[in-house]
């Protein structure tokens, strides 16, 4: 069973629909029991980093997620804000994150002449082998919608990068933890392939 973590932040419905298109056994839930029983977890998100962390804490889900992902090693996919929440800290609200990866979430520098938020299709350059990119060409385009990006010195967790004013991390993988800054649920055939690969891990 795939459990999409329902913490009231954004794009849950479109993520759910994408998994249903793959005929996956999927539910959206904020109940700790469901999360701990899941075969796969998805942390979606559109919105403010600090609010996201506060909501996860208010729902009592941070301890549950730490147990499920770090101890039980249930595969988790963080999407957009969901990936940013995996980092140690974000400039958005100067807030601490889940700290599952050695990275920070930074705001795009608007001085470079690029419009913020970064919205639309952009190439994703796959830089290391990652099972969720299986069968996808290494520089395919995916759909983005974000004003912040993940930055890390730990190159071992970087699966792909994208250029938009700066080169930023567009996907990560560390053990059973996966993340995409782009929205696979809005990225047509390539996005569905990526989600299918996650289901089949």
Contact 150, 169 (CB under 8 A): yes
Q: Does 72 have pLDDT greater than 70?
A: yes
Active site residues: 80, 183, 185
Q: Is the pLDDT of residue 68 over 90?
A: yes
Per-residue pLDDT reduced to its tens digit, 90-145: 999 999 999 999 999 999 887 767 888 899 999 999 988 899 999 998 888 999 99
Which pLDDT score, from 0 to 100, does residue 12 have?
87
Q: Domains for the chain: give ranges and CATH numbers.
A: 2-199 (3.40.50.880)
pLDDT digits (tens, 9 = 90+) for 135-185: 998 888 999 999 999 999 999 999 999 999 889 999 999 999 999 999 999
Mean predicted confidence (pLDDT) in 23-39: 94
Average pLDDT, the chain: 93
Residue found under tokens 């913490």:
7
Residue located via tokens 């298109």: 21
Q: How many CB atoms lie within 10 A of CB 155?
A: 9
Looking at residue 112, its pLDDT comes to: 66
pLDDT at residue 129, rounded to an integer: 83
pLDDT at res. 77: 98
Average pLDDT on 27-46 reads: 94
Q: Which residues neighbour 36 within 8 Å (Cβ) at sequence distance 6 or greater?
A: 64, 67, 68, 72
User: What are the residues whose beta carbons fall under 8 Å from the beta carbon of 38, sequence distance 6 or more?
Assistant: 1, 2, 3, 68, 74
Using left for φ > 0, alpha for ψ between -120 and 50, and beta otherwise, residue 8 falls in: left
% of the chain with per-residue pLDDT over 90: 84
């Amino acid at each position: 069973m795939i459990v999409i973590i329902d913490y009231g932040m954004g794009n849950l419905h479109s993520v759910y629909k994408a998994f249903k298109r793959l005929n996956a056994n999927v539910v959206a839930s904020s109940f700790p029991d469901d999360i701990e029983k899941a075969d796969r977890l998805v942390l979606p998100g559109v919105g403010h980093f600090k609010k996201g962390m506060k909501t996860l804490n208010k729902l009592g889900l941070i301890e549950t997620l730490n147990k499920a992902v770090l101890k039980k090693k249930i595969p988790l996919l963080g999407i957009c804000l969901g990936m940013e929440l995996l980092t140690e800290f974000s400039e958005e609200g100067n807030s601490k994150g889940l700290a599952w990866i050695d990275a920070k979430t930074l705001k795009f520098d608007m001085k470079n002449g690029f419009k913020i938020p970064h919205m639309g299709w952009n190439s994703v350059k796959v830089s290391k082998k990652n099972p969720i990119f299986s069968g996808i060409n290494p520089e395919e385009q995916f759909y983005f919608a974000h004003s912040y990006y993940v930055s890390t010195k730990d190159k071992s967790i970087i699966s792909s990068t994208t250029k938009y004013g700066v080169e930023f991390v567009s996907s990560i993988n560390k053990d059973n933890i996966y993340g995409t800054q782009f929205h696979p649920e809005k990225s047509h055939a390539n996005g569905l392939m990526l989600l299918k690969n996650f289901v089949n891990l």
